[in-house]
Amino acid sequence: MKIVVIGGGAAGMAAAASARRVNPTADITLLEASRHVSYGSCGIPYYLGGLVEDVSRLVTYTPEEFRRSRKVEVLTNSYVKDINVSSKRVVYVSEKGEEREVGFDTLVLATGARPVVPKIEGLGLNGVYTVRFLDGAVKLKEDLARSKRVTIIGAGYIGLELAENFKRAGREVTVLELLPRPMPNIDPELAEIVSRELKKNGVRLELNKRVVGLKGDGRVEKVVTEDVEYETDLAVIAVGVKPNVALAKRIGVELGESGAIKTNSRMETSVKGVFAAGDNSEANHIVLNQPVYIPLAQTANKMGYVAGANAAGGSEEFPGVVGSAITKVFDLEIGRTGLGEEEAKKYGVETKSVLIKARSRAGYYPGGRDLWVKLILEKSSNVIIGGQVVGYEGVWGRIAALTLAIMNRFTPKQLVFSDLPYAPPFNPVWDPLIVAARVSLK
């Protein structure tokens, strides 16, 4: 049996490893267009800020290590030019610039995503970056060393993680956001707390700013919005990613409404024998029971695990996601799961919600910090469909618990009676989650 995996990011590597686990004898080939495989793009902001010194720390396996441990043929700097589905061959340009072919019985498309770049003038100037790949990150870090003022376009996760890290590196940081708030995937009341944290840490956050161009003489000097120009030495575009589906389209793989690849729960595409996984694919949203495009590293790993196993003759199913995500911006932890209130409206789900402020530890125990919990309920069923938590400690655990509560269609009453652990260093005796659930009973 011959399996080809295209892409050496999270999904591709998980797929190859999983295929090997299921099938000890298959020929498995992994093709990666860049020179790195198995890298943690999520770590790039911390590398830029100096928290991670060497970029090699972001790499889990070198091609050689993976080749040896998993018996997978890993071909880096190998760009896929074409796929012939009927003859089951992948045509690629090898490291040495030669056109080669490799045959497959099953194929996994793990082609990832690319940064979205708005159509504006000046994108070709020096000092303009996106953040996604390791080589680009190394170049950006070198450039950062020569730059005093940095402007980030986009106040989502990556934009804000960059803001923190550029401040850590001692830069003057401006963040420009099109929307009236940062962190578009959490609701406005909580985004307000994020805004305060950014300002407290000296980040200039400019909301309602549509960037229309970049100006400069060879190198970027100004980021131009509809009403204001911002002088800068460096600009980073962080407005999101889009699925990399060029190869998929070429072979007639069906895309979903989101523009990402449509798969079933086995990660099979519409083309027989072709699987897809990772940031190029949709996933089933367990609350909505419909496909969504939420490209995240952990999801990519799981999709890869399933796609690879099935490509190798196994039988795995990916049940989908509920939209859990977390980040840390300076001292503030920001987490969300399920549907946000605005998001629910978009999908026509009528909601009610509660927002409470609590403390992270028993009142008498030193070091307790503020913690805000928002619960979002579906009005018709009274089931918890979303949760958002921000605060200075303990956010991961609350989001993890809410994730399982949402996956299991808990009512607030069921959350009240969940046997969450309690001890003074970790929570008040009525945990913030239970307080929020109790308030939502009223």
CA distance 99 to 101: 7
User: Restricting to residues 380-399, which ones interact with its own copies according to CB under 8 A?
Assistant: 394, 396-399
Per annotation, catalytic residue among 1, 42, 120, 207: 42
Q: Of 179, 362, 411, 439, which lies in the binding site for its own copies, with binding defined by CB under 8 A?
A: 362
Stretch that binds its own copies, among 29-37, 109-117, 200-208, 425-433 (CB under 8 A): 425-433
* Half-sphere CA count of 183, side-chain side, radius 13 A: 31
What does the alpha-carbon distance between residue 16 and residue 19 come to, in Å, rounded to a whole number?
Answer: 5
CB contact at 8 A, 375 and 401: no
Cβ atoms of 222 and 229 closer than 8 Å: yes
Piece in contact with its own copies (CB under 8 A), picked from 68-76, 113-121, 228-236, 318-326: 318-326
Min separation Cβ 173 and its own copies, Å: 19
Residue 168 to residue 113: CA distance in whole angstroms: 28
Contact flag: residue 363 with its own copies (CB under 8 A): yes
Q: Verify whether residue 42 is a known catalytic residue.
A: yes
244 binds its own copies (CB under 8 A): no
How many Å from the N-terminal Cα to the C-terminal Cα in the chain?
60
E strands, 71-210, in order:
73-75, 79-84, 89-93, 99-103, 106-109, 113-115, 128-130, 149-153, 172-176, 204-206
Write each residue from 35 to 54 as x if it is in contact with its own copies (CB under 8 A), else as -, in one continuous string.
-----x-xx--xx---xx--
Nearest approach in angstroms of CB 180 to its own copies is 25
For helices 10-22 and 297-311, angle between their N-to-C axes, nearest 10 degrees: 30
Stretch that binds its own copies, among 147-155, 228-236, 329-337, 343-351 (CB under 8 A): 329-337
Q: DSSP E strands: which ranges in 187-249?
A: 204-206, 211-217, 219-225, 229-231, 234-237, 241-243
If DSSP states are collapsed to H, E and C, what string results for 319-373? CCECCCEEEEECCEEEEEEECCHHHHHHCCCCEEEEEEEEECCCCCCCCCCEEEE
Task: Return the residue of 27, 193, 215, 430 that touches its own copies, per CB under 8 A.
Answer: 430
**Size of interface with its own copies, in residues (CB under 8 A):** 65
SS3 of 17-51: the string is HHHHHHCCCCEEEEECCCCCCCECHHHHHHHHCCC
Select from 72-80, 104-112, 343-351, 413-421 the region that touches its own copies (CB under 8 A). 413-421
Cβ proximity to its own copies, 57 vs 210, nearer residue:
57
Two tokens at 153?
């376009």
Instruction: Give the Cβ contact number of residue 68 at 10 Å.
Output: 12
Least Cβ distance, residue 172 to its own copies (angstroms):
24
Figure out which of the listed residues 179, 271, 326, 355 binds its own copies, where binding follows CB under 8 A: 326
For position 10 contacting its own copies by CB under 8 A, the verdict is yes
- Binding of residue 347 to its own copies (CB under 8 A): no
Q: How far is the CB of 412 from its own copies (least distance, A)?
A: 13
CB of 30 closer than 8 Å to CB of 73? yes
List the x/- string, 51-90, binding to its own copies by CB under 8 A. xx----xx-x------------------------------
- Binding residues for its own copies (CB under 8 A): 10, 40, 42-43, 46-47, 51-52, 57-58, 60, 286, 296-299, 301-302, 318-328, 333, 335, 337, 362-366, 394, 396-401, 403-405, 407-408, 414, 416-427, 429-431
* Active centre residues (catalytic): 42
